[in-house]
Chain A
Amino acid sequence: MPSQQEIFEKVRQTLVDALGVDDDEVTPQATLIGDLGAESIDFLDIVFRLEKSFDIKIPRGELFPENLTAADSGFVQDGVITPSGIAELRKRMPHADVDKLAANPKVENIQELFTVEMVTKFIGGKLGA
C-alpha cells in the first residue's frame, strides 16, 4: 500500500499534467481553483487521470460533488451555507476540511475545500491507506 507521500507525489504529477502548472506550485495546501487555476472541465480530466494513475474507479460526484449550491437545495441562504448545507458537505466530502469552511461559511469559500491535500486524502481512502 502506498504511503501518503507516495500518493501525494502521484497526485502532484496528475495535476501538473492536467493543469499545466509547475510541480512546485502543487503544495498540499494549494487550492485547485484559486491557486492552480482549475476550471470546471479540468475536474473531469483530473478524475480520468487519477483513475488511470491509481487504477481505481471514482464514481461521478464522489471526489468533486456537483450541484452543491443549487438554488432549491436549501443549503444556501443569502450567500451563506446553512447548517444543513455544512452537514451535507461533511457527509459528501469526508476527505475535505469542512471545519475550516464552517468557520466562515460563505458560499464562495466552498471552492477552498478543493485542495491538493483533499485529493490526496480521498485517494488514500480509496486505496485503504
Chain B
Amino acid sequence: MGHTHHAAHTSEVQPRNPAKVKHLLTVTLYLAVLTGVEFVLAFTMPRGHLLTLLFVLLTFVKTFYIVGEFMHLNYEVRMLKLAIIVLPIILISWLVLALLMEGHFVREAIVFIFGK
C-alpha cells in the first residue's frame, strides 16, 4: 500500500531533465506574456464591460496554468481535480454574483433614501 509511486526509495541523484525544465519555462513565458497583455489592455482600451470581461478571461487562463502546471493538478486523479476546481467554482461564482448584485441594490437604496 502507498509509497509505490515515484522512485523515491532510491536516494541517488538523478540527472537533470532539460525537456521538463523547458516545459516549465514555457509556462512561465505564457504567464509573463499574459500579464503583459493585461497591462497593455489597461491603458489602450476604454474602461467598460468588454475590458472587464477580457481581464477576467485572461486571469482564468493564468489560473489554469498556475494550478494545472505549477501546482501539478493537471496530472492528478480526476476526482481530486473535480474536488479542487468544480466545487469552489460553483460556490465562488455564486458568492461573487450575489455580492455584486447586492452592491448595486445597496447603492440604489442609498440614492433613494438620501438623494444624490
**Chain A complexes with chain B:** no
Seen from chain A, the residues whose Cβ lies within 8 Å of a Cβ on chain B are: none
